[in-house]
Amino acid sequence: MIAIEITTNETGQRLDRYLLKLMHRDTRSHIYKYLRRKIITVNGKKARENYFLEEGDRLQIYLPPDFFEAMTAMEKPSGVKDYTLDIVYEDEDLLVLNKPQGLLTHPDHREYKKTLSSFVNGYLREYAHRTFKPAPIQRLDKNTSGIVIFAKNYESLKNMNRLMRERKIKKLYLGVVHGALENPVEIKGYLEKDSGKNRSVFREKETPEGKWVHSSVRPLKTGRAYTLVEIELHTGRSHQIRASLGAIGHPLVGDGKYGGRPHPEITHYLLHAYHTEVETMVFEAESEAINAFCEKEIR
C-alpha cells in the first residue's frame, strides 16, 4: 500500500484531477475504476471523484509499488545547460523573467524541449513534483519579448490566476509602429480568430465569432516614419495588439502578417512586455532591440 499525505500544494484540487496529474501515465478510466473499487481511498474510506482535497488528507493506494512508480514517473528536465534565465525578480512564491524574442513560452507540436517553461522547470526542479510544476500565469508569443511570471507553488498559482480573472494585474507593452502617431487612441472592437492562417481579424462591429477587445495606445516618442508607443491591454486575446495596431493603420514594424513593412535591420516585429503590476509589486524589463532601433530611427 502506498500512502500520500495532502499538503498545501494540493489543497483545493478535485480528487480525480489530482490523481490524473499524479498518475499521468495511466488512463482516466483506470483512475475512476480505482476509486469505484476502493483501490484508492481517502482517509480509509471510499471517495467520489469530485471530492475536494484538504490539507492533511491521507490517500491510500493499493497498487503494486513497481506499477505505481511507472505510472507516476517524471521526465528529467532537459535543456537547462543550453540557456541562462534573465531573472527580474524571485522569491519563495514567484519567479519573474525577461523572455527573449524567438523563444516559446510553452512547448508546442514543433518544439518541446527548448522553451521557457522547460528551462524554468529545470532551474526550479526542487519545486516540481508529481502533481505540480512551476507554471507561467500568462503567455507571450514566440516573437514577443518581455516579462513572464511563473508561480512556484500551487497556492501562488491559484492566487495569480484569481488576480488575472479579476483584472487586477496591469500589463504594459512597448512597440514600434509605422507612421507618426501624435495622440493617444483607444482601440475597441472585436477579434475573429482564423486558426488556419494563425491570425486574427479586427472588426469594428460585433460578429457571431468575434470577441470583444480593448487596448489603450499612447505615443512616447514620435518621428516622421516611426513611433514608439506604450500599449495597455484591458482584454487579453491572441494577437490582440498586433491586429489592433494594424487596424488603425499603424502596424508594428516588421509585422508583415498585420501590414507592417519590412526593415533591412529588423527580422521580427518590435513588441516587448516591459511593465507588470501585481498588487504592490512592480516589475520592469528593458528591450535592447527596441532601444537600439529608437536611437537610430526615431529622432
Chain segment 17-36, per-residue pLDDT in tens: 889 888 888 888 999 999 99
Residue 79 is predicted with a pLDDT of 40
Q: Give the pairing type, strands 58-61 and 271-278.
A: unpaired
- In degrees, rounded to 5, the angle at the alpha carbon of residue 292 between the alpha carbons of residues 267 and 173 is 75
pLDDT confidence tier of residue 232, bands split at 50, 70 and 90: very high
Fold of 169-297: Pseudouridine synthase (3.30.2350)
Residue 72 is predicted with a pLDDT of 81
Is pLDDT of 151 > 60? Answer: yes
Is pLDDT of 148 > 80? Answer: yes
Is pLDDT of 98 > 90? Answer: yes
CA distance 260 to 132: 41
Worst-scoring range by mean pLDDT, 179-183, 193-197, 233-237?
Answer: 193-197
Is pLDDT of 82 > 70? Answer: no
Residue 238 is predicted with a pLDDT of 86
- The answer to whether domain 80-165 and domain 169-297 are alike in fold is yes
When pLDDT is averaged across residues 118-134 and rounded to a whole number, the result is 79
Is pLDDT of 46 > 80? Answer: yes
Q: What tens digit of pLDDT does each residue of 51-65 get? A: 999 999 999 999 998
| Residue predicted with more confidence, 40 or 124 | 40
Residue 74 is predicted with a pLDDT of 59
Residue 107 is predicted with a pLDDT of 77
Q: Tell whether domain 2-72 is in CATH 3.40.50.2300.
A: no
pLDDT confidence tier of residue 84, bands split at 50, 70 and 90: confident
- Chain centroid to Cα 22, Å, comes to 22
Fold of 80-165: Pseudouridine synthase (3.30.2350)
Instruction: Specify the amino acid at residue 29.
Output: S
pLDDT confidence tier of residue 112, bands split at 50, 70 and 90: low
Instruction: Say which DSSP state 52 is in.
Output: B
Residue 111 is predicted with a pLDDT of 65
Residue 293 is predicted with a pLDDT of 94
Contact 141, 102 (CB under 8 A): no
- State what percent of residues in the chain have pLDDT above 70: 94
Is pLDDT of 77 > 50? Answer: no
Contact 53, 10 (CB under 8 A): yes
Average pLDDT, rounded, for the chain: 89
Contact 49, 30 (CB under 8 A): no
Residue 78 is predicted with a pLDDT of 43
**Angle at which helices 28-36 and 15-22 cross, to 10°:** 120
**Domain range summary for the chain, segments of one domain joined by +:** 2-72, 80-165, 169-297
pTM for the model stands at 0.76
Worst-scoring range by mean pLDDT, 55-64, 129-138, 198-207, 251-260?
Answer: 129-138
CA distance 173 to 285: 10
Residue 177 is predicted with a pLDDT of 97
- State what percent of residues in the chain have pLDDT above 90: 62
